[in-house]
Structure 1
Amino acid sequence: MLKRAVFYLIGLLILSFGVSLTIVSDLGAGAWDALNVGLSIRIGLTVGSWVFIVGIILIVVNAFLRKHKPDYLAVITIFLVGSFIDFWLYMLSNLEPTGFLFKLLVLLAGMTLLSLGIATYLQAKFPVIPIDNLMLALQDRLGFKLMTAKMTGELIALVLALIFGGPIGLGTIIVTFGVGPIIQLFFPTMEKLYGKWMHEG
């Protein structure tokens, strides 16, 4: 159990660092992250607080779509991710990328770490982030294919991010289409690493 928790926490730390890098890259963050930044700018509170609030709303929406009880344990996941994002954004507050190439480098590093973090934390089989659960809920309720369900969720977030003035740009397109394949690239390696680590001692 302790090893699972360590893998889970490391994954969430890497994931949130990646998200924070995409935000500070100034090229546009992923749709859901752009929404949280937009809400933070327009209404107040930290980006991490909005990760938590939007996550709570999604837990309720997912429960309604899947006709299940709300995934209460996912509250722990979103609380940790929100807290970690606020921590990393504070640590990165002096990083202001200048020039397109530097910004792109920061964005790509963020996207890679974000994908690695997801591939890592999923191994522990603890409650998933409500955004990922929304994809499964849309698939169950509306009979969408997984990719269609994922893109529907991203489109909803994109529209809301535009309404609240979140950082939408070239980076948003790169993150939207780039994260999935990179997760698939990292997943088998992290699966082997997790399996090996769990069987040691």
Structure 2
Amino acid sequence: MLLRAVFLSVTATSRRDLVERVVQLIGGLFLYGVALGFMVRGGIGVAPWDVLALGLAGQSGLGYGFITVLVSIVVLLLWIPLRQRVGLGTVLNALLVGPSADLALFLIPAPPSVWIGAPMFVFGLLLLAFATGLYIAADFGPGPRDGLMTGLVRRTGWAVWLVRTLIEGSVLLIGFLLGGPVGVGTVLFAFGVGPLIGWFLPRITRMREARSRQVASVRPA
């Protein structure tokens, strides 16, 4: 029933447009996981949700990617009382980011020094912003964490910045208490990810919309 609701929510100008957007979605989510791998390997701190995931992974002995999937599923369960609508992108986000992050961590060696680790983190942050633009512009629904934020904003009437700060602040504190890595990278992420996504997203969205119009204008002979 859930999957049926997910696929019924998908709209596209043509079958080709749908296929291209699904490829963009999956590519964006894969690159998002790769970006997380670079940021974790950087060794200078990670984003609040990854502080939580790494803290839980350290306490439980389970893999980082597996914990990332579990956290996403728990967050999706919190959508139920908020009556948030699940999209295809929501489900794939929950299932694909963790495994792709684990694959990246398997392939990317730990840097020998912070002078290599710090640029790795910055590259990961840039790649994450680009990947976020890709999967959001594909327009298949928000990720689990973004949907939690928008659902709480709608239910409480509070400002977006306040809800986001409360969520990420709580996640960061819990992750830190569990032993997750907090460092300068955490600060860089907090102040850098918004402007970077703000730069990538409108450009990718315009390209996606132009491509969708182009595909829609092509008629089979």
TM-score under structure 1 length normalisation: 0.91
Distance 2:167 2:110 in 1: 30
Please list, as runs of the form range in 1=range in 2, the aligned pairs for 1:177-192 lying within 5 A after superposition. Answer: 177-192=191-206
Per-residue deviation at 1:4? 0.9
Per-residue deviation at 1:69? 6.0
Q: Secondary structure at the match of 2:169?
A: helix
Residue 84 of structure 1 corresponds to 100
Please list, as runs of the form range in 1=range in 2, the aligned pairs for 1:126-141 lying within 5 A after superposition. Answer: 126-141=140-155
Distance 2:133 2:85 in 1: 24
Distance 2:120 2:56 in 1: 23
- Of 12-21 and 138-147, more deviation after overlay is shown by 138-147
Per-residue deviation at 1:72? 7.3
Please list, as runs of the form range in 1=range in 2, the aligned pairs for 1:25-64 lying within 5 A after superposition. Answer: 25-64=42-81
- Any stretches of 5+ residues in structure 1 without a counterpart? none
Matching of residue 166 in structure 1 with residue 183 in structure 2: no
Look up the equivalent residue of 1:136 and give its one-letter code: T
- Any stretches of 5+ residues in structure 2 without a counterpart? 1-17, 216-221
**CA displacement 1:106-153 (0-9 Å, x = unmatched):** 111111111111111001111322111121122112222122222211
Aligned length: 197
Per-residue deviation at 1:70? 6.6
Look up the equivalent residue of 1:34 and give its one-letter code: V
**CA displacement 1:29-69 (0-9 Å, x = unmatched):** 101012111111110221111111111111111322x2x16
Same amino acid, percent of matched pairs: 26
Residue 71 of structure 1 corresponds to 86
Give the number of the structure whose alpha-carbon radius of gyration is greater.
2
Return the match for 1:22 from 39, 43, 51: 39
The CA RMSD over aligned residues, in Å, is 1.7
1:134–1:153 Cα contact (<8 Å) kept = no
Residue 3 of structure 2 corresponds to none
Return the match for 2:132 from 94, 118, 122: 118
Change beyond 3 A, Cα 1:72–1:13: closer
Distance 1:75 1:132 in 2: 13
